[in-house]
Structure 1
Amino acid sequence: MHNEPLAYRMRPLTLDEVVGHQEFIGQDTALFKMISNGHVPSMLLYGAPGVGKTSIANAIAGSSKLPFFALNATRAGKKDVEDIVQEARISGKVLLFLDEIHRFNKLQQDTLLPHVENGSIVLIGATTENPYHDVNPAIRSRCGEIYQLQHLTVDNILMLLQKALLDTKRGLGQYHMVLTEEQLQKIAIAANGDARKALTLLESIYYAGDEVDGQTIASDTVIDHLISRIGVYGDKKGSHFYNLLSALQKSIRGSDTNAAIYYLAHLLENGDLVAVSRRLLVIAYEDIGLANPAVGAHVLAAIQAAERLGLPEARIPLANAVIEMCLASKSNSAILAIDAAIARIHAGQTGEIPHHLRDAHYSGAESLGHVGYQYPHNTPIGTFGGWVKQQYLPSELTNVEFYKPVIAGEEKRLATIYEKLQSFNQQ
């Protein structure tokens, strides 16, 4: 049996062997034709673990015939970079694959960047983090394209599994492993678009299988057990985690209960209860808002219950909160109002506070002209309470409206009151 893991052995050796990602590296793409004609541009590959960043870099190296070097930015030192620079001087041009490129420090960059710029080093950087957030602009500017790699499809994974089962040199072909179509489909789905997980799982199933008449057979029980041990990908501080938070909020805002519950489950499996709770509370006030003011209190109660319960039980009150928010009437009028006011302030469109609104709780206030305030509670108006017509905004902002009601849920009633008070002010 080979010493290297199956996922390592099955990496494509040329571009023709790449599975998936045909939209940017397929035979009809500009990138494929450039590489086939001997020109390899520097580039960044961005995507989750297991989508094929390292495999594509290896395939480009195999198709280009350039001297190939691979470094991991978390372990590489200045000396490693200097060695590659020296090789580039000797060879004329080399291809460098730099994994976790967002971890590259300034000293390493200073050593490498001039040689990437003059073309003696072709750089392929790989990162699981958003390159626009986490990769230094100096590196980004020297890479012609940023390619975002998506998870492989189930069909892509099935193709990889079949290749591994048939390949007698690098795969499991010589061991005559037999899996049913249903078993292969189960493995492909469980891998969740991650080629490394799929091939690692296949290798584990081989070792856990039984030899029967010269063939390796795996039971459904063994496969189900191994699948249940596959971990959930999600760095709590990484781009994928923040993408999940964003997807959760947008699903709640869009009233898609099933999608919101899915993203909540994914986030809770990552274990960051604090970040999830904080985002849910923001959603209650940003997206539900005045259309259903009670939701904010309900979500806060659910968060407090979740904090007391801890995971896994915390999932129950949070699921209640998410479903309620999905199905609640929605209004973003409050956030639009406060942001409009902040924008005015940042633009310098402010004014003097009217004298009658200024603090008058000290001797001498009257001499400064801080007089004339009318106490609204002394003037009842219907069942509303107290109200009196007087100026509150600075003179420079008189008649400016930051708040624009959304006619939804409870805010319909609030909008009626608001419009009535506005009409009183115009009289």
Structure 2
Amino acid sequence: MHNEPLAYKMRPRNLDEVVGQEDIIGKDSALYKMIIKGHVPSMLLYGPPGVGKTSIASAIAGSSKLPFFALNATQAGKSDIEQVVMDARMSGKVILFLDEIHRFNKLQQDTLLPHVENGSIVLIGATTENPFHSVNPAIRSRCGEILQLTRLTVEDVCTLLQQALTDKERGLGKLGVSATNEQLIKIAEASNGDARKSLTLLESVYYASDEQDGVTVLSDRAIEHLAKRIGVYGDKGGSHFYNLLSALQKSIRGSDTNAALYYLAHLLESGDIVAVCRRLLVIAYEDIGLANPAVGAHVNAATDAAQKLGLPEARIPLAAAVVEMCLSDKSNSAYKALDAAIAAIHEGKTGDIPNHLKDAHYAGAKELGHVGYQYPHDTPIGTFGGWINQQYLPDALVGMEFYKPVIAGEEKRMASIYEKLKSFKM
């Protein structure tokens, strides 16, 4: 027990010791009141590592006084589940904490589900993946609560660190440690809202610092050196990674350069350049579009260069592409127009192609009536090029408009041409 990590030893023993997540498990929350009154529902806890999923589960067990069993879905077998079921039969209701529940297989579910359904087992599942994408519906339907946990604030982490420094039973209190508020803030900021990382960093800094007059004085140099090693959570292919991609696109769409660069930095720390480049290319055409058509070519060149260069140099062309897209005029008119046309087809708004547009490059086309097409290039119109007033849509769709110009950037000029050509048809 002496060798247990500080993060493990400081795990809350009851709900009143939980730090952060006030809206979910604070004293004014519905869940807290239910548990204190003896009602513990099955639930799913969803969020990034280190935000308190395991801690909340053990705290619920401590406050409810129910027997507590913890399993990891990547390692648990049918026999482990059967043992929990047997204990539930012998001792009554128990809590089963199942970490990485999104990896639960069907055989395990079949063994466990009836007992969750009849209430003899309270299931608390934890996952870093979006449960609506990754957790079997049979499990979700039996969990009354699906709770999304968020990263702890710097203030929350500082509170946790202060508790670890002063707790003489489980923390560093009996060892004699001196730390400034500024140092705790640095540790909290480096942990990025991850309680486990913050306590692990604190413990490492403690052992890397020198003792003065019987007191270990935390070293600024040790904090700075060790903080660089704790890493950034960016699980490739996981929910958090896709959330980062989504945040990057929405920040570019919203023209927030600083936010976009922050999310780009976070994504590049995960090392998946290909996924980032693909998303940036999509953004160039989805959100910039006709307002600045040159951006598509610029982003394509930047993403090509990034993939050839690799990290860390890849960040240079990607940063330029992101800033350019943030500050560019924006339009989504082109793809919206195409989506409108697709929707019309799905709604059955179709018709036969006009005969004069059908292929006529074969003997017998005239006999089928595939005649009458007029070649626009033969009829110049100002500086626009060739244009002639003839029908292109099927008879049933004549007059339908899918494209609605956005009056922004280069599309202003395109919009005026579009409206002028419409007037010629009248």
**TM-score category (smaller protein):** over 0.9
TM-superposed CA distance for 1:332, in Å, is 0.6
- Partner Cα separation in structure 2 for residue 84 and residue 348 of structure 1: 55
SS of match in other structure, 1:316: helix
Partner-residue secondary structure (3-state), 2:396 = helix
Mapping for residues 313-392 of structure 1, pairs under 5 Å: 313-392=313-392
The number of residues matched between the two structures is 426
The alignment partner of 1:366 has SS state of coil
Aligned residue runs from structure 1 range 183-202, under 5 A = 183-202=183-202
Matches within 5 A, 1:28-427: 28-426=28-426
**Distance across 1 between alignment mates of 2:326 and 2:43:** 41
SS across alignment from 1:193: coil
> What is the deviation of 1:20?
0.8
Distance (whole Å) between structure 2 residues aligned to residue 146 and residue 206 of structure 1? 37
Structure-2-length-normalised TM-score: 0.99
With the length of structure 1 as denominator, give the TM-score of the two structures: 0.98
Taking the aligned partners of 2:157 and 2:362, their CA distance within structure 1 comes to 76
Q: Work out the CA distance in 1 between the residues paired with 2:306 and 2:23.
A: 43
CA distance in 2, matches of 1:171, 1:218: 15
Q: Tell me the distance in 1 between the aligned counterparts of 2:419 and 2:9.
A: 70
Question: Whole-Å Cα distance in 2 between the matches of residues 343 and 233 of structure 1?
Answer: 39
Q: Counterparts of 1:113 and 1:349 in 2: how far apart (Å)?
A: 47
Distance in structure 2 (CA, Å) of the matches to 1:2 and 1:217: 22
Partner residue in 2 for 1:8:
8
Deviation readout 1:99-145 (Å, 9 max, x if unpaired): 10111011111111111111111011110011111111111110001
Give secondary structure in 2 for the equivalent of 1:367: coil
The separation in 1 between residues aligned to 2:345 and 2:139, in whole angstroms, is 37
Using the aligned pairs only, state the percent identity. Answer: 77
| 2: CA distance, partners of 1:90 / 1:384 | 85
Cα distance, 1:86 vs. partner?
1.2
Q: CA separation in 1, counterparts of 2:286 and 2:245?
A: 14
- SS in structure 1 of the partner of residue 126 of structure 2: strand
Name the CA distance, whole Å, in 1 between partners of 2:118 and 2:222.
54
TM-aligned CA deviation for residue 356 of structure 1: 0.9
**Cα shift at 1:348:** 2.0
1:198-220 Cα shifts (integer Å, max 9, x gaps): 00001101111112211112321
Once residues 139 and 336 of structure 1 are traced to their aligned partners in structure 2, the CA distance between those partners, rounded to angstroms, is: 38
The one-letter code matched in structure 2 to 1:7 is: A
Distance in 1 of aligned mates of 2:392 and 2:36: 71
Question: What letter matches 1:359 in structure 2?
Answer: D
In the TM superposition, residue 28 of structure 1 has moved relative to its aligned partner by 1.7
Equivalent position amino acid for 1:285 in 2? Y
Residues 44-69 of structure 1 deviation map (CA, whole Å, 9 limit, x = unaligned)? 10100000000000000001111110
Find the aligned partners of 1:222 and 1:12 in 2 and give their Cα distance: 27
Instruction: State how far apart, in whole Å, the 1-side matches of 2:223 and 2:382 are.
Output: 72
Q: Which runs of 5+ in 2 are unaligned?
A: none
After superposition, what is the alpha-carbon deviation per residue over 1:152-189, rounded to whole angstroms, capped at 9, x for unaligned?
11111111111101111111111101112211111111
Give the Cα separation in 1 of the matches to 2:146 and 2:27: 19
- Unpaired segments ≥5 residues, structure 1: none
TM-superposed deviation, 1:74: 0.7
Q: Distance in 2 between matches of 1:367 and 1:89?
A: 84
CA distance in 2, matches of 1:181, 1:386: 73
In structure 1, how many angstroms separate the alpha carbons of the residues matched to 2:211 and 2:416? 77
1:207-248 CA-to-partner distances (Å, cap 9, x unmatched) read 111122111123211111001111010111101111110111
One-letter code aligned to 1:84: V
- SS at structure 1 position matched to 2:69: strand
Give 3-state SS (helix, strand or coil) of 1:230's partner.
coil
Task: Measure, in 2, the Cα distance between the counterparts of 1:95 and 1:153.
Answer: 29
Return the alpha-carbon distance in structure 2 between the equivalents of residues 121 and 214 of structure 1.
50
User: Could you tell me which amino acid in structure 2 is paired with residue 270 of structure 1?
Assistant: S
Other structure's SS at 1:38 match: coil
Report the Cα distance in structure 1 between the residues aligned to 2:211 and 2:259, rounded to whole angstroms: 43
Distance in 1 of aligned mates of 2:224 and 2:184: 12
What letter corresponds to residue 28 of structure 2 in structure 1?
D
Shift of 1:404: 0.4
CA RMSD of aligned residues (A): 0.9
Q: Could you say which residue in structure 2 is the equivalent of 1:21? A: 21
Q: CA deviation at 1:314?
A: 0.7
- Of the structure 1 ranges 14-23 and 344-353, higher mean CA displacement relative to structure 2 is found in 344-353
Cα distance in 1 for partners of 2:269, 2:242 equals 14
Q: What's the CA shift for 1:339?
A: 0.6
- Distance of 2:23 and 2:360 partners within structure 1: 69
CA distance in 1, matches of 2:105, 2:343: 37
Amino acid at match of 2:207: Y
The alpha-carbon deviation at position 355 of structure 1 amounts to 1.0
- Tell me how far 1:309 sits from its aligned partner: 1.2
Name the aligned partner's letter for residue 182 of structure 1.
E
Shift of 1:321: 0.6
